[in-house]
């Protein structure tokens, strides 16, 4: 059960559209939603007033168009400052079960040059994060794909997927496992299947060989996946948490490639494996 979701909005409607899809799920029937909009810091009082009025209108519109159930509730927060820093700060303070935000899907150097908020938060947030790219089609969630490997973060991704579809009739979990070369058997896959069988959750298995990130994206496309859940371990020491990982920002990580190229919304689960 998801008790609290932090929803960031900028007026585009993509994250709100995703939120309305999530609210159809049994696992979201008692969720409290905190709606956050951040206005940029301005040098003049006139500028602050103008942005604040615009921000209040955005929050009012977004809040009015979220389709709350009988047991859902929402609260709106307007903050002033650097958006990427504020989102991380609020997420750290509230520790929601899920952070939902839109993304332009910028990759590599573009993310740095365009000062991408979602990419920065993607790197530094310590809570599970659902990214909704501007160019993806948001579908009702009937299947969730999980990328498997032998890490604890991948196990956390499987648990997150199970939590998302809990109670959904005819829902299934798609398991994708990518090898460097063909394998006859794999304990990672066996353990995942055993867990799903114990929970009586239908599943489908996608075994691939080749480039991990590219094969995950191909499996998403071919299976018409509604939602992808990907584990991403946080390995940087606490002293470096205020500094984006340039290797990842430049596209060196699997999660960064998938974030940019997957054709569905993505939940990134973050687990400290130090």
* Residue pLDDT, tens place only, 32-58: 999 999 987 765 666 678 888 889 999
Residue 8 in contact with residue 36, Cβ under 8 Å? yes
pLDDT at 107 over 70: no
- Predicted confidence at residue 14, as pLDDT, reads 85
pLDDT at 115 over 80: no
pLDDT at 112 over 50: no
- Predicted confidence at residue 6, as pLDDT, reads 97
pLDDT band at 124 (very low <50, low <70, confident <90, very high): confident
| Sign of the torsion angle spanned by Cα atoms 72, 9, 123, 248 | positive
| Sign of the torsion angle spanned by Cα atoms 10, 135, 128, 71 | positive
pLDDT at 21 over 70: yes
Which residues belong to CATH 3.40.50.620 in the chain?
A: 4-133, 143-272
Give the containing element (helix H, strand E) for 189.
helix 187-198
- Predicted confidence at residue 185, as pLDDT, reads 79
- Predicted confidence at residue 45, as pLDDT, reads 65
pLDDT at 79 over 90: yes
- Predicted confidence at residue 117, as pLDDT, reads 78
pTM to 2 decimals? 0.86
- Predicted confidence at residue 108, as pLDDT, reads 44
Which of 5-9, 123-127, 194-198, 260-264 comes out lowest in average pLDDT?
A: 123-127
pLDDT at 216 over 80: yes
Residue scoring higher pLDDT (248 or 41): 41
With pLDDT > 90 as the criterion, what percentage of the chain qualifies? 61
Mean pLDDT (the chain) is 85
Note the pLDDT tens digit of each residue in 153-190.
Answer: 899 999 999 999 999 999 999 999 999 887 777 999 99
- Predicted confidence at residue 13, as pLDDT, reads 66
- Predicted confidence at residue 98, as pLDDT, reads 96
pLDDT at 241 over 50: no
Average of per-residue pLDDT across 94-113: 68
Give the containing element (helix H, strand E) for 125.
none
- Which pair of tokens denotes residue 124? 């530094």
The arrangement of secondary structure in 143-272, i.e. its CATH architecture, is 3-Layer(aba) Sandwich (3.40)
State the Cα–Cα distance between residues 46 and 42, nearest whole angstrom: 9
State the Cα–Cα distance between residues 34 and 159, nearest whole angstrom: 23
Mean pLDDT is highest, among 28-42, 120-134, 234-248, for 28-42
Domain 4-133: which CATH class?
A: alpha beta
pLDDT at 203 over 70: yes
- Predicted confidence at residue 106, as pLDDT, reads 45
Edge-to-edge strand ranges of the sheet holding 143-148: 73-80, 32-39, 4-8, 98-103, 129-133, 266-272, 227-234, 143-148, 172-179, 203-209
- Predicted confidence at residue 84, as pLDDT, reads 86
- Predicted confidence at residue 3, as pLDDT, reads 96
């Amino acid at each position: 059960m998801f008790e609290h979701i932090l929803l960031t909005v900028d007026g585009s409607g993509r994250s709100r559209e995703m939120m309305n899809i999530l609210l159809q799920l049994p696992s979201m029937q008692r969720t409290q939603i905190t709606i956050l909009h951040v206005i940029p810091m301005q040098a003049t009082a006139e500028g602050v007033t103008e942005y604040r009025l615009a921000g209040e209108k955005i929050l009012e519109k977004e809040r009015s168009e979220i389709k709350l159930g009988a047991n859902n509730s929402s609260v709106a927060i307007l903050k002033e400052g650097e958006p990427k820093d504020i989102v991380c700060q609020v997420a750290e303070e509230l520790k929601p079960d899920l952070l939902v935000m839109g993304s332009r899907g910028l990759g590599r150097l573009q993310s740095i040059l365009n000062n991408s908020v979602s990419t920065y938060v993607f790197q530094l947030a310590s809570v599970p994060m659902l990214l909704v790219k501007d160019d993806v089609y948001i579908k009702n969630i009937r299947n969730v794909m999980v990328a498997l490997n032998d890490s604890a973060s991948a196990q956390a991704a499987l648990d997150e997927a199970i939590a998302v579809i809990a109670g959904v009739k005819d829902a299934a979990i798609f398991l994708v496992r990518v090898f460097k070369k063909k394998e006859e058997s794999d304990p990672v896959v066996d353990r995942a299947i055993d867990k799903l069988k114990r929970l009586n959750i239908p599943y489908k298995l996608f075994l691939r060989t080749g480039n991990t990130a590219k094969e995950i994206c191909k499996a998403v496309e071919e299976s018409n996946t509604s939602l992808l859940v990907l584990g991403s371990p946080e390995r940087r020491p606490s002293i470096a948490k205020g500094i984006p990982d340039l290797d990842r920002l430049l596209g060196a990580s699997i999660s960064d490639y998938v974030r940019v190229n997957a054709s569905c919304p993505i939940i990134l689960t973050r687990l400290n494996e130090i």
